[in-house]
Structure 1
Amino acid sequence: MSYYKEISRKRKLISFLFLGLFTWSAYIQLNDPDPYHWFAIYLLVGLLHVLSLFRPISKRIYWFIFFLLIAYSLYHFSYFMDWIEIDNKNEIFGEMVYEKPYLEGTREFLGLLICALSLLYPLNISKKNLENN
């Protein structure tokens, strides 16, 4: 029996949803002033979710990428704190305003955090979850 067939339908569905989410996120980064590394980050995370369905990926790789993403997000944490202190939180959903770098920094912080936290899902899959439901 192949590795893919041993994985539950729920895990397959969630992994493909993560792929869709992060592929879409990568695509919308293409209009960003610095698109290439953001495109690569989002696509890498999405692909990791799906590749893990076809062959086991070492938890060390997941943890390494997780901590890299967390470390990179900390670089943007001060922007997030600046955004927390403003009154109009809805600005984050608007266009980039160069006079307000905390908007883009907050988006980048939150995106990296979402990427990192999503990697906790495959890390917490136990052997019994591999069985078909």
Structure 2
Amino acid sequence: MKLFRILCIPIFLYFAYLQLNDPDPYLWFPIYAIVAIIALVGFYRMVPKFVGWILIPIYLVLAVYFYTQAPYFGMEVEEVREYLGLLIASAAVAVLVFKR
């Protein structure tokens, strides 16, 4: 579990950094930075489960929204990449919060 936390911190910080060049960084930067913060906080104390119960449904609802906005499923479509990023972020939050 520690290795997963160690990997999540730089990966999701890098994801957040890449979003600063996006037209809407105010949405995407926090989505990825929050996952990195949860991984970092998990080293020092247990992250309350309600954090997962709040974030995961938000991320999944956003993922469904972007999936429905995609004209077709291909990696060249921005909505598909946003959908997959939200799925990755929600899976990481689930592992970080619910797996002790």
Give the TM-score, by structure 2 length: 0.88
What residue number does 1:117 align with? Answer: 91
User: Runs of 5+ in structure 2 lacking a partner?
Assistant: none
Displacement of 1:124: 2.2
Match of 2:16 among 19, 22, 26: 26
What residue number does 2:72 align with? Answer: 83
Deviates further, 61-70 or 71-80: 71-80
Specify the structure having the higher radius of gyration (Cα): 1
Displacement of 1:115: 0.2
Displacement of 1:36: 2.0
* Count of aligned residue pairs for this structure pair: 99
What residue number does 1:107 align with? Answer: 81
| Percent of aligned pairs with the same amino acid | 31
Letter in 2 for 1:109: Y
**Cα RMSD, aligned residues only:** 1.5
The whole-number CA distance in structure 1 between the counterparts of 2:72 and 2:12 is 24
| Runs of at least 4 residues off by over 4 Å | none
Letter in 2 for 1:106: V
Displacement of 1:113: 0.7
SS at match of 2:5: helix
The whole-number CA distance in structure 1 between the counterparts of 2:99 and 2:2 is 14
